[in-house]
Structure 1
Amino acid sequence: MTKKGALLVNLGSPDSTDPKDVKKYLDEFLMDPRVIDVPYWLRSFIVRGIVLNTRPKKSAEAYSKIWWEEGSPLIVLSERLRDKVDDHTGIPIALAMRYGSMTIKKGLQELKEKGVTEVLIVPLYPQFAMATTETIMVLAEELRQEFFPEMTFDSLPAFYNKPEYIEVLSKSIAEKLEGLDYEHLLFSYHGVPERHIKKRDITKSHCKIDGQCCITHSPAHKFCYRHQCYEVTRLVGEKLQLKEGTFSTSFQSRLGFDPWLQPYTDRTIEKLGLTGINKMAIVTPAFVSDCLETLEEIAMEGEEIFHEVGGKEFTTIPCLNDREDWVRVLSGWIDRWAIVEVETAIA
């Protein structure tokens, strides 16, 4: 007899705001070959020779600004989501982080101790990217082969275009904007290097990042982060009947000097303020849980940039976090997977 369970996986967080903990976390994160995808010697030089000598202190200060009494907001919100999903589903649910002390290995061990042999891995990212979904699945498979050979894995595909996800995301935006006389809504997604897009082009020819490839149908879109981000913006825009010119897409959190997806969020916020936009709102649909990138980089730094160039009102829309409608959607996907798998086995 097999027993099914699901493992929710998010990005991760340092254990504390101490620079030593932040340095340890950044080392694991940035040394991932799917995050900084250059040869090991060069990655080590960049990360351990340069970045980790300066960034941990600055990042620790940023984490200190958003840290909750219960701990890291990302961890706390993910735990709340796990608990609610566990209450709504009929199979065991565990939570893990790709980086940090809440490891995927621990999450799988928790499920194993509950008798689980078939695991649905749920990357908590709406869009596919090699630095998010792919690195989770690669590590999970390595762990399965070494420590959990009795287990089998399935994974929840990117859900950026699922109607129920778009419905919940659109509703969360509409609720926050209700009664606000905003002039522009910015959809800000986490950035990735342009080379990541081209590396995951399964056609080896479609992704040119030229303004047309993302709106021209192609099998490449299954693994194209850029297309999937723009598609979320388009679908939400249609759902909320947003007028052309009142919303746009940008990308945040770039690192290093290589070309990253553009337009950049910080420069877009600055441009909006300089061109006379006085009231703007911003949503971050690459994340389902609020974290450093939403609470500090956007809600604090982004607002500061907007005010510096003359903007007046800056509204940040929370991530889905543990909203009841989002919990129901995620729980439904998990239960449907479990039911289909059982029915298939019976047949």
Structure 2
Amino acid sequence: MIALDPERAAELQEIDAIGADVVPVSPGKVSLTLKHESVERESGDSDTADSIPDVRMTQGTIIWYWTQDTWVSQEITIHNYDFSVVSGTVIFWSLEDNYGYGVPFSGLAPGEDLNVMVPFKVSAQNSSIGVKPIAVAITVDPGGFTSWIERMPIDAIEKYNNDASHLFDPGGGENLETSDLYHFPFSEGYRVLSEAARAADNTVDPYQSAREIMQYVNGAMNYTYEDPYIEYICSDLYMIDHPSSIDGKYLGVCDEYGTLYTAFARALGIPTRFLSFSMREVATGNVSGHAIAESWNGTTWVHSDPTWNVFDNPQVYRTAGNDHINITVYGDADDSYYTEDPNDPTGDGILLYEDFRTQILLGEVPRYN
């Protein structure tokens, strides 16, 4: 690990990312072809003969979906535009966290390319969840002078580690899965992941991250009584693709609020389950329904209601004058599972509760009742 001067890191975060062609090659990985022009130096060029050797990054394959306490290998292609053989180091930086890892190279001849694999460890101790601006630097010998450094055109996203020694899902991974409601990191998942990362940016524990996501979803959405939100459950991408024409916010009722929250939390490695329940209003005897979520903090399930903007307070419904709160966990959602409704075409991102493959009745859970 190499420490980066915080002032220099802050400067790099403020500059525009370098121009590049960005092509996804697999979930969580992109290929970059950088856009810059440079002329090969010649030994007779007196204006440049005594300057720092010109070695730059030209291409790369970058893993941007980071899991804490794991290694990711970044492949960097460098080119020697100088007139002499050059040695030095290629460094991959996490700008926000002020650290990076470097790999030395040597004997790079004029006009030649070199592929360098830079192993980078995502350190939970030295970082946080969320958006991670990144940069690549090339230093040259002797003296370790910086020949080239640029901010990359795509930010990384850091998530929790879900192995047995970190934030393990008590459901064996079921509460981290993608489905026809939750899209990440596949398909168009970068849109979901990047917004989730902004919502929980700079948080350091799952409780704090989940609370920030809940508050973000509450503020990012408008409650509506329009179709299809009343009768159906709309996916994260459907909501993102169909914002309000008035203020650009996402639309929905409680199940859309719970869906977007669940998608964002799962995207960052927080085990989260989607819940729906019935409750009786004590004063009138009327029974109504509501949708919320719960997130696992490593030891217990934590209540989260982005519609009501309430976190870790399952007694809020009793306080509001309700009892007999009867809860069901809704699991894997498949848009083509329920086909009896002719008005519900498959693959449109608009689901019914009948499209959930798994439903687990928890009943009148004591902490809510």
Q: TM-score range by the shorter chain?
A: under 0.3
* Relative contact order, higher structure (CA 8 A, sep 6+): 1
Q: Which TM-score applies when normalising by structure 1?
A: 0.27
More strand by share: 2
More helix by share: 1
Q: Which TM-score applies when normalising by structure 2?
A: 0.25
